[in-house]
Structure 1
Amino acid sequence: MNTRLVRAAEQVLHAAMQQGRVTAADLACALESAQLLQSPETAAELNRLRARVPELEAERHSTNEALSDAAEQLRADRDRIAELEAERSRPAPVITAAAGLERLRAALAAPVEDPAHAEDVGAQVQRLRALLRGQRTAVGDPHDSPPHPEGRLGDDLPGEER
């Protein structure tokens, strides 16, 4: 005889009778609700399942955290993509030759604050001067270009008929 089970059944039956349950069916339902009518195998399986509940809850918590992190990253990526698409759709600022020249003069006139970067600034100034020479050449008289290699005129001259 398993005294632990007998004592548990006694307590369940006593509580059921105090609630006014006195028929055999009522008492059997009370024992079933307390899971005292199960086979030893079924009870052992139920205990194994109960033992896994904390493990499964911890796994669910870990999964929820990972899912939350992934959703947060997706929102950040979505926002960044929207920013980049907005930048791409914005027209580029048009810089006229005069405005570009003025910005270049201002940059060249600005003193170098950090002597450690003086060499980098010097190289940048040389590149900017070369760029400026190229722009001056490009903005110059369009008819100053060298003649066509075969000595004939281009097709795009005004007033020329084909």
Structure 2
Amino acid sequence: MSKRALLEVIALGPQDAVAAQAGGADRLELVTDMAADGLTPPRATFAAIRAAVDLPLRVMLRATDGFAAGDPAALCEEAAALRAEGAEEFVLGFLTPDGRPDLEAVAALAEVIDGCRWTFHRAIDRAADREALRKELAGTAGAAGLDTYLTAGDARGVEAG
């Protein structure tokens, strides 16, 4: 018996979500600002999408373009507010300036999302050492719930990967 690949589709709003569900999506990744590789959507957008479809939703936790965490405390507040709205799955991933995983930011958010399943975002494509990043993450308490890595296969993007 072969296992079918999971089809995860980006949704920016309820119309995207409904179309993705109709097209056979298994899960949605909720973001805003695709020009910045996806940022945290407004809570009202999350609520509208959740009301429009019955698919699992992974909500992006990312406030700025690039792969630095920015203000982890503000991200933690937003994660807590999204959890209060019913978010149960997330997407996040941050690097230090030297290309290592920002374990402090990841651990802070993992504590707030409290064991929810989550995806490490495309920051892995910019890591100094992808294998070392996976090992470092696996060895931390913040890794609870980590079940997916999102990669383009190359730092230059999907076409190059």
Please report the TM-score for the alignment, with normalisation by the length of structure 2: 0.18
* Greater gyration radius: 1
Q: Give 1 or 2: higher strand fraction.
A: 2
Q: Give 1 or 2: higher helix fraction.
A: 1
Bigger RCO of structures 1 and 2 (CA < 8 A, at least 6 apart): 2
Please report the TM-score for the alignment, with normalisation by the length of structure 1: 0.18
